[in-house]
Structure 1
Amino acid sequence: MAEKFDLHALRKHLTQRLALGLVDMACHMPTLAISRPVTAMGLRFPSPLGIAAGFDHSGRLGRRVAALGFGFNEIGSLTFDQVASLAPAHHGDARLGINLTLDASQSTAEACSMLSNGWPHADYLVLNLIGPASAPLLQQDARLRQLLTALRQQQQHLNQAGNRRVPLVAKLRCLPAQIPFSLAGLLLELGFDGLLVAHDPGPPATRQRYHDWQDQRQQAQACEQIEHLHSFCGGGLTLMSVGGIQSAADLQGRLNAGAQLVQVHAALLHQGPWLARRLLRAPWK
């Protein structure tokens, strides 16, 4: 079993590297980018479609993905040490998000320092609450509230001192019958800018799961979850949606449901670097 797992991990790693390399090469090709500008969280995005964390983990592509039609690129999820060693990404028009790993073993001071290190590089920051490192926090209500409060206050301080506004977003898992209303309410109370809704149950990201998302009933479930959160938040949070987007119809469905920004990952691995063009060329409804 161990050998089989290693082969699967190696195949996944090679597929990821190949896909990243192809997107990198495509960014250098002379093309006419498709622009579908949107404004969310006080920022202008070249399009509502972006790349999810995990694809460009260390920021190799940076903001250059705007050349392919992507409005933003979220790098990470990054640990404390990885954030501290980030290099600036100056070139390109796409917005850059930095996904920060919230580790339950970190102190509040360490988490605030990680946010401070990421702030100068980011157009928006995401606190990742769906990874295994953060799982214990979801069982510790008082600790989670204290940590999110401190991070929100640190963001406000940095924005005021730096004379620019970097929005703060939290990434939460959202599954059928498990819509995170309570945590969304906490984000609203603390004044967060956005909620990144992850509709997928998490790794391993198998080919079968990719095909499962082609079932329109599953797409409809994700749209229903966004609709419920949109109604609950009342415009107080910008909603971002990730998980299962493969077609223009999928993208349009999430936008119609109330998401303002939508991310792709697996579809970029399977369909190649021209994905954004195909999804954005469809007429808006």
Structure 2
Amino acid sequence: MAERNMTRRRLGQRLALQLACAASYLPATRSRAQAVDVMGLRFPSPVGIAAGFDRCGRLGRRAARLGFGFTEVGSCTAAELFEMRPPNAGGLALVGLNLSLDPTRSTAELCADLTLAWAQADYLMLNLISPLSAPLLAEERRARLIELLRALRNRAHALNSCGNRRVPLAVKLRSLPGQVPMALADALLELGFDGLLAAHDPGPPATAERYYGWQDDDQQLLACRQIEQLHQLCDGALALMSVGGVQTAAHLQARLAAGARLVQVHSALLREGPFIAQRLLG
């Protein structure tokens, strides 16, 4: 049964991506979104597509034609980075690359991955919520994690200093009620990262029950309180992003009011169709 459900989800996601790609070739409707400046970049809209939807960058920059300001490609392994095609040129959406942090690989190898990704992305996201990265979050490996984050931040800084453009570096962390990652956020501040993406969903499987559970006002309020806590700590020095449970324009505005600069969607895009960003933006 579990395997059958997984197959259905994969087929549904593949169909949703195909629909989004097809819709991106339709005449673009005028968006009500206002561009936002975050991490030194101008995003055409504060609404973006979370990693996992467009794993290989098929939609890419054309996401702007659907009202999205950005799309996050991946998560990407080292092998996938070598096979990645440069983001398409059509449209204005920014493209981020979501990088898996495999603790079995050396710091030098992971820095090489970042270097390859830097040349292809508008921003980079280090993914610390994937099962692959889970061992790095163990308390006994905290020193290793901080060492790795420092090395990756230093590598990004060196590339930005020598190149003709600046690619911001952010980290994706799980943020749940009673488990807001304050200590890691503080470490990111000290290390000089550009952004933090708070993921408010506990992770797979993405069931229908969990999706509709986000329509509860109290659950939305909890996510906003997590963003408020992080916002008070970061005080603008770290750009905050939020992903998980956003389904309506009211949800979007509440996350932005709580302190998120950018908001990503995933399940809503799968379930509500390719024009969800236009509905969220009103």
Q: TM-score range by the shorter chain?
A: over 0.9
Distance in 1 between residues matched to 2:171 and 2:90, nearest whole Å: 26
1:221-232 mapped onto 2 (5 Å cutoff): 221-232=222-233
> What letter matches 1:15 in structure 2?
G
The equivalent of 1:67 in structure 2 is 65
- Rounded to whole Å, the distance in 1 between the matches of 2:164 and 2:143 is 32
Distance 1:173 1:264 in 2: 15
| Match in the other structure for 2:157 | 156
Q: Is the 8 A contact 1:33 1:66 kept in 2?
A: no
Q: Could you say what secondary structure the match of 1:134 adopts?
A: helix
Name the CA distance, whole Å, in 2 between partners of 1:85 and 1:161. Answer: 25
User: Aligned partners of 1:33 and 1:45: how far apart in 2?
Assistant: 16
* Alpha-carbon distance in structure 2 between the residues aligned to 1:19 and 1:79: 23
Give the count of matched residue pairs. 278
Letter of the structure 2 residue corresponding to residue 227 of structure 1: E
Over aligned residues, Cα RMSD in angstroms? 0.7
The equivalent position to 2:25 in structure 1, one of 28, 35, 41, is 28
Counterpart CA distance in 2 for 1:10 and 1:29 is 29
1:33-80 Cα offsets, whole Å, 9 max, x none, are: 413211100100000000000000111001110011100000101111
- CA distance in 2 between counterparts of 1:33 and 1:18 reads 25
**1:3-152 pair list within 5 angstroms:** 4-34=1-31, 35-89=33-87, 90-139=89-138, 140-152=141-153
How far off its partner does 1:86 sit?
1.0
2:220 maps to 219
Letter in 2 for 1:103: D
Tell whether the 8 Å contact from 1:33 to 1:67 is kept in structure 2 after alignment.
no
The ranges of structure 1 where at least 4 consecutive aligned residues each deviate by more than 3 angstroms after the TM superposition are none
Aligned counterparts of 1:156 and 1:269: Cα–Cα separation in 2: 36
Residue in 2 that maps onto 1:280? 281
> Contact between 1:27 and 1:65, CA under 8 Å: does it hold in 2?
yes
- CA distance in 1: counterparts of 2:131 and 2:147, whole angstroms: 20
Instruction: Give ranges in structure 1 of 5+ residues lacking alignment.
Output: none
Q: What's the CA shift for 1:108?
A: 0.3
Please tell me the residue identity of whatever aligns with 1:115. Answer: L
TM-score (norm 1): 0.96
Q: C-alpha separation between the residues in 2 aligned to 1:134 and 1:93?
A: 31
Structure 1 residue 31, shift from structure 2 partner: 2.1
Q: Percent identity?
A: 59
Measured in 1, the distance between the counterparts of 2:76 and 2:51 equals: 9
Whether contact under 8 Å (1:36, 1:280) holds in the other structure is no
Q: Distance in 2 between matches of 1:36 and 1:276?
A: 13
Deviation string for 1:116-135 (max 9, x for gaps)?
Answer: 11011100000000011111
Instruction: Name the SS of the counterpart of 1:241 in structure 2.
Output: strand
Q: Distance in 1 between matches of 2:8 and 2:83?
A: 28
Tell me the equivalent position of 2:197: 196
